[in-house]
Amino acid sequence: MESIIDYLKRKLREAGAGRWEAIAVECGVAKTLPRKIAYDDRDNPGVQTIQPLLDYFGAVERGEKELPDLEQKAA
């Protein structure tokens, strides 16, 4: 069975780095948190820290929310 943190890493990587900041803003977490989780730069984040992201991806899976548009890099 997939651990909660592995689930979150997988969902963040599937969403793509271009969406992480928008997801963080929508969830009310630090803009750097998704990157830190996806790249194992955050040791053992607490449930209170990751719960907003878990709730967000759960809502996406249930069809209650959609992933934000990908950020466009300036040319």
pLDDT tens-digit readout, 38-69: 999 987 889 999 999 999 999 999 999 999 99
Phi, psi of 15, rounded to the nearest 5 degrees: -65, -35
Give the three-state DSSP class for 12: helix
pLDDT tens digits for 2-32?
A: 999 999 999 999 999 999 999 999 999 999 9
For every residue of 18-71, DSSP letters joined together read HHHHHHHHHHTS-TTHHHHHHTT-SSS--HHHHHHHHHHHHHHHTTSS-PPPPP
CA distance 74 to 59: 30
Which pLDDT score is estimated for 43? 79
